[in-house]
């Protein structure tokens, strides 16, 4: 595949460079695209990297380092830029974990996914991506990512992204203290971190309607004890007693999850053991919520930052969604 001779961006060789990322980000801000060859290169490189990662990545924060945990970004590229402005650009000492739902709903999902993937390629050991319930084919078909890939690039680009999504890790354990996953806990109290470690995520590419992968991507906390039916129609809800037992059994301090809007950008529930972080402020241009991220240093204390949405070009959320769903936010 050749790059059009008229392409006026920085060229990409066999290795990702900071120069390329910064030029790509400026192009995206200006409403431009990158060469299709580079899109393929980025996705293939990241697919190769994440395939080699375990289903649960384990990361310890070393002295002089910090990790910033972000929740759903949902195609809100200009708000992603605000996260990097406030928290600092990714580097060898500024680690990041994006906890799923990079795409769909917001109309800059390809830009968000390519930016995150480019940083993953540049900093494979300090930049991490967990899979969310929107890194799946049926969600992408319904909520805009597939249509956006087709409109901006090609059907093949979507298929490649889909393949890469199914290779993403499902969880990250930070400092043996914080279990970070997109949705939440399980229908069975006997599930342990070891079960997550052993889960073969390559066996089923899509999460389906039951099983550990589905529960990790889809469940939500509830205030009452025990477990209850999900308001989403898939997954379940888990109470503070479920969270307490899981944390004690696995000797961790808390779970950090995303998957739900929080008006203040984050919420601490279940006696401090269940933390929700959501990083798409003014979600779908209609919710009025703040976004948030969590910084964790070598002392493993959680530092929360809330932020507001920033202006973006006048393109509506769900602009690429199927079946006129953009009218049904």
Indicate which residues carry an active-site annotation: 134
| Both structure tokens of 208 | 């389906």
Please report, in angstroms and rounded to a whole number, the separation of the first and last CA atoms in the chain: 38
CA angle 53, 54, 59 (to 5 degrees): 85
CA-closest candidate to residue 63, choices 83, 84, 93, 33? 93
- How far apart (Å, rounded) are the C-alpha atoms in residues 165 and 75? 15
Non-local (6+) Cβ contacts of 141 within 8 A are 322
42: left (phi over 0), alpha (psi -120 to 50) or beta: alpha
Beta-strand relationship, 291-296 and 302-307: antiparallel
DSSP string, 259-316: SS--TTSEEEEGGGTEEEE---TTGGGTS-PPEEEEEE-TT--EEEEEE------S--
Could you give the CA distance from residue 115 to residue 225 in angstroms, rounded to a whole number? 40
Separation of CA 155 from chain center: 22
Strands 94-99, 66-70: pairing is parallel
DSSP structure class, residue 193: H
- If we measure between CA atoms, which residue out of 254, 182, 248 comes closest to residue 220? 182
């Amino acid at each position: 595949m050749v790059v059009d001779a008229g392409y006026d961006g920085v060229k990409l060789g066999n290795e990702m460079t900071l120069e390329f990322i910064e030029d790509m980000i400026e192009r995206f801000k200006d409403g431009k695209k990158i060469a299709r060859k580079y899109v393929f290169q980025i996705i293939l490189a990241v697919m190769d990297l994440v395939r080699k990662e375990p289903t649960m990545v384990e990361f310890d924060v070393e002295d002089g380092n910090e990790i910033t945990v972000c929740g759903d970004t949902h195609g809100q590229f200009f708000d992603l830029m605000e996260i990097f402005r406030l928290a600092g650009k990714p580097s060898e000492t500024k680690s990041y974990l994006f906890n799923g739902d990079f795409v769909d709903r917001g109309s800059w999902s390809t830009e968000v996914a390519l930016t995150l993937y480019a940083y993953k390629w540049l900093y494979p050991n300090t930049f991490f991506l967990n899979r969310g319930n929107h890194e799946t084919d049926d969600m992408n078909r319904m909520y805009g990512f597939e249509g956006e890939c087709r409109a901006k690039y090609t059907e093949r680009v979507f298929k490649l992204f889909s393949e890469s999504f199914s290779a993403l890790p499902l969880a990250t354990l930070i400092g043996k203290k914080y279990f970070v996953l997109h949705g939440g806990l399980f229908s069975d109290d006997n599930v342990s971190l070891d079960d997550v470690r052993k889960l073969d995520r390559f066996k089923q590419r899509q999460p389906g309607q039951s099983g550990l992968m589905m529960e990790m991507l889809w469940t939500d906390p509830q205030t009452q004890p025990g477990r209850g039916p999900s308001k989403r129609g898939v997954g379940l809800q888990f109470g503070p007693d479920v969270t307490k037992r899981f944390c004690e059994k696995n000797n961790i301090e808390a779970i950090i999850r995303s998957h739900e809007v929080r008006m203040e950008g984050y919420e601490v529930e279940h006696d401090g053991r269940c933390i929700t972080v959501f990083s798409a402020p003014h979600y779908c241009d209609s919710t009025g919520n703040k976004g948030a991220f969590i910084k964790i240093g070598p002392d493993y204390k959680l530092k929360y930052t809330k932020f507001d949405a920033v202006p973006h070009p006048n393109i509506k959320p769900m602009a690429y969604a199927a079946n006129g769903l953009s009218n049904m936010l």
